[in-house]
């Protein structure tokens, strides 16, 4: 096994141990470890969906607060990661619904050749990848991002999207086939 794969595998095992410890003994120290493990992933989750840093940080804190308050309700600790991303997804959808109620306006002086800061911040991934997945439907982009950017396993994806594991596997496979066709056209 290559060294980088061993490190990644060890990190996943350590992360799972951290989650299990928190679920067994929800102390300040165990929660701090969960925050340390989840914060960068949640930030990436929100940033890949077009949120600026401030919004991503705020939603990450909201998710972590929900994790702290409601983790005792988790029946199956193996699905902890999936549950966390379900909370994150719901937090993001709620924010989008609220933002659709208010209309953003710009003054004429602020429109110019420069891109708004939010547009610059919204490109955290490699442009080829974002261009490629932009051709997918929003639900497909969501599942591909969960699988290959956030590195969630199929059980966690299924829990996050509230679908059966087989459906999650099929959707990822289907998206990969669509992306393969797009890559074939691109060459």
Give the start-to-end residue ranges of the domains of the chain: 1-100, 125-187
Tokens for 75? 């029946």
pTM of this prediction exceeds 0.75: no
Confidence check: pLDDT of 16 > 80 = no
Confidence check: pLDDT of 148 > 50 = yes
CATH of the domain spanning 1-100: 1.10.1740
Topology annotation, domain 125-187: Arc Repressor Mutant, subunit A (1.10.10)
Q: How confident is the model over 78-128, as pLDDT tens digits? A: 888 889 999 999 999 888 888 776 545 444 444 444 433 333 344 444 567
Distance (Å, whole) CA 121 – CA 119: 5
Tokens for 24? 């067994």
Q: How confident is the model over 1-14, as pLDDT tens digits? A: 555 444 444 445 57
**Can you say whether the dihedral through the CA atoms of 53, 56, 59, 37 is positive or negative?**
negative
Among residues 35, 13, 10, the alpha carbon closest in space to that of 22 is found at 35
């Amino acid at each position: 096994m290559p060294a980088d794969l061993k490190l990644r595998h060890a990190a996943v095992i350590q992360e799972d141990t951290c989650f299990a410890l928190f679920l067994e003994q929800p102390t300040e120290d165990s929660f701090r470890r969960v925050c340390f493990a989840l914060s960068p992933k949640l930030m990436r989750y929100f940033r890949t969906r077009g949120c600026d840093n401030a919004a991503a940080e705020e939603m990450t804190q909201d998710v972590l607060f929900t994790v702290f308050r409601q983790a005792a309700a988790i029946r199956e600790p193996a699905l902890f990661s999936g549950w966390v991303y379900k909370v994150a997804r719901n937090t993001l959808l709620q924010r989008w619904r609220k933002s659709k109620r208010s209309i953003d306006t710009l003054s004429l002086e602020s429109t110019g050749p420069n891109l708004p800061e939010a547009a610059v911040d919204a490109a955290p991934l490699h442009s080829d990848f974002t261009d490629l997945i932009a051709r997918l439907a929003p639900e497909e982009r969501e599942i591909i991002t969960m699988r290959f950017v956030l590195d969630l396993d199929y059980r966690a994806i299924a829990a996050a999207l509230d679908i059966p594991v087989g459906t999650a596997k099929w959707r990822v496979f289907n998206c990969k086939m669509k992306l393969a066709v797009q890559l074939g056209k691109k060459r």
